[in-house]
Amino acid sequence: MSPLRAVQIIVVVLVAAYAGLFLSWNNDAGPIVTWNLGATLYQEGLPVGALPLAGVILGVVITTLLALGSYRASQAQLRTAQADRTSAQDLLEKAKARVRTQKEAITKLEQQKAELQKELADLRGEAPAAAAPSGPAAEPEAPAEEA
């Protein structure tokens, strides 16, 4: 048991003990009006200490219900945020898969390019141009025409 939980239990026990003592100290019955409508008056004889305790209990119940509503709203926001995060992760994984596919396609095209350059070099009877730089500077120069 955590120390915080032990403190919580001790506080609840102390509050319950005080409530019992409060009722025993204020157990004198008094007329409590529960309904007053014109000439009709309903009253009960209750211990005077029951009214503050009833108010505290009612306050605790109302506060609990309000806190529960707030808790449920925050839980709904959390679920929405988690769903958004999951969808974002799915989109990221799809994007990564597309990048991997494109990299594989680029690698395959580079291999095909190297094979075609080798075939072209074989057809021309030249050495393979694998080490030659690519681009406009690597194009063979046309022989200069003499005038």
Has residue 13 been placed in a domain?
A: yes
Has residue 33 been placed in a domain?
A: yes
- Residues 29-57 pLDDT 10s: 887 777 777 777 777 778 888 888 888 88
Has residue 40 been placed in a domain?
A: yes
- Residues 90-146 pLDDT 10s: 999 999 999 999 999 999 999 999 999 999 998 888 655 555 555 555 555 555 555
pTM across the whole model: 0.47
Has residue 73 been placed in a domain?
A: no
Residue 24 has pLDDT above 60, yes or no: yes
Name the packing angle between helices 50-124 and 3-25 (round to 10°). Answer: 160
Quote the pLDDT of residue 62: 94
Residue 115's nearest CA partner among 129, 136, 96, 95 is: 129
Report the alpha-carbon angle 24-26-27, nearest 5.
70
d(CA 133, CA 138): 6
Range of the domain at 30: 1-48
Has residue 4 been placed in a domain?
A: yes
For the chain, what is the domain count? 1
Q: Is 30 helix (H, G, I), strand (E, B) or coil?
A: strand
